[in-house]
């Protein structure tokens, strides 16, 4: 098992050069009614079901470096050509490159909304990170839980089970800072009891959080093999 905060710090050294960050793809996507997407390299979790596994575990050999200016230009170009008004960083974990992320947000033009999709590890670890995000009125944060309990989280990610609580703290930190946010939970492998328990915990943070977004995993062959080896679980085909 590993501490994902330590992995985040180590990975950041590989995927950043000052305010430059590694990306492996820029694209349009159908989510959120249509959104321009920059897929970044590097993550602090090792989710068995991850479709971006190779770029998460091998950041050294993946992607190329881009400046915040380049990222904003490419996202806005994709958004403009498709009539989108939303952009996001996705693929792996956007919060690993803090200075880069904040610079991207600073340079986005008015009228463009930014969706930050994160596992919540660093935002839960450091309340100051959430405070730094509070200055951006065009930002919404989607905090993604990997399972519904510490045991599920650890089984799916091989991380220390105590890290499961960091996304919960992330939501608390974001709310305290006045940042728009909501939880999403990977429930494909969750027991009804674990889901109900998490729902109660989220509801205690904010009444709207109990009605969380449910994620279901669709596995490729490599992810199926990892799940079989790590957990003995099978996901949706």
Residue 208 lies inside a defined structural domain of this protein: yes
pLDDT score recorded for residue 227: 66
Residue 193 lies inside a defined structural domain of this protein: yes
pLDDT at 64 over 90: yes
CATH number for the domain including 176? Answer: 3.20.20.70
Residue 126 lies inside a defined structural domain of this protein: yes
Out of 74-78, 166-170, 208-212, least confident range: 208-212
* Residue-range definition of the domain harbouring residue 220: 4-230
**Ordered DSSP codes for the chain:** -B-HHHHHHHHHHHHEETTEEEEEEEEEESGGGSEEEEEE---S---TT-TTHHHHH-GGGS-EEE-HHHHHHHHHHHHHHHT--EEEEESS-GGGSHHHHHHHHHHPPTT-EEEEEE-SHHHHH-HHHHHHHTT-TTEEEEEEESSSSHHHHHHHH-B-GGGGHHHHHHHHHHHHHT-EEEEEEE-TT--HHHHHHHHHHHHHH-GGGGSPEEE--B--HHHHHHHHHHT----B-
pLDDT at 216 over 60: yes
pLDDT score recorded for residue 235: 44
pLDDT score recorded for residue 54: 83
State what percent of residues in the chain have pLDDT above 90: 81
What's the predicted TM-score (pTM) here?
0.91
Q: How many domains does the chain have?
A: 1
Residue 236 lies inside a defined structural domain of this protein: no
Q: How big is the chain, counted in residues?
A: 237
pLDDT at 109 over 70: yes
Residue 237 lies inside a defined structural domain of this protein: no
Average pLDDT score, the chain: 92
pLDDT score recorded for residue 84: 97
CB atoms within 10 A of CB 178: 12
Residue 121 lies inside a defined structural domain of this protein: yes
User: pLDDT class for 188, splitting at 50, 70, 90?
Assistant: confident
Kindly report, residue by residue over 80-92, the tens digit of the pLDDT. Answer: 999 999 999 998 9
pLDDT score recorded for residue 219: 61
Average pLDDT over residues 27-48: 95
Residue 235 lies inside a defined structural domain of this protein: no
Q: What are φ and ψ of residue 163, in 5° steps? A: -70, -15
């Amino acid at each position: 098992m590993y501490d994902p905060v330590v992995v985040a710090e180590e990975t950041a050294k590989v995927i950043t050069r000052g305010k430059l960050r590694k990306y492996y793809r820029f694209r349009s996507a159908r989510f959120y009614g249509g959104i321009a997407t920059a897929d970044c390299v590097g993550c602090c979790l090792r989710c068995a079901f991850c479709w971006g596994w190779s770029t998460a575990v091998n950041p050294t050999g993946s992607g190329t470096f881009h400046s915040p200016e380049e990222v904003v230009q490419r996202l806005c170009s994709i958004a403009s050509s498709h009539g989108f008004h939303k952009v996001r960083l996705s693929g792996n974990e956007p919060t690993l490159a803090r200075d880069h992320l904040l610079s991207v947000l600073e340079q986005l033009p008015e009228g463009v909304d930014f969706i930050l999709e994160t596992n919540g590890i660093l935002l839960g670890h450091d309340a100051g990170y959430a405070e730094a995000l509070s200055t951006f009125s065009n930002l919404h944060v989607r905090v993604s839980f990997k399972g519904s309990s510490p045991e599920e989280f650890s089984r799916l990610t091989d991380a220390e089970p105590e890290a499961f609580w960091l996304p919960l703290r992330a939501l608390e930190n974001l709310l305290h800072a006045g940042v728009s946010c909501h939880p999403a939970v990977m429930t494909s492998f969750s027991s009804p009891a674990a889901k109900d328990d998490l729902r109660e915990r989220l509801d205690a943070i904010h009444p709207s959080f109990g009605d969380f977004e449910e994620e279901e995993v669709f596995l490729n062959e490599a992810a199926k093999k990892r799940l079989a080896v790590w957990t003995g679980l099978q996901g949706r085909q």
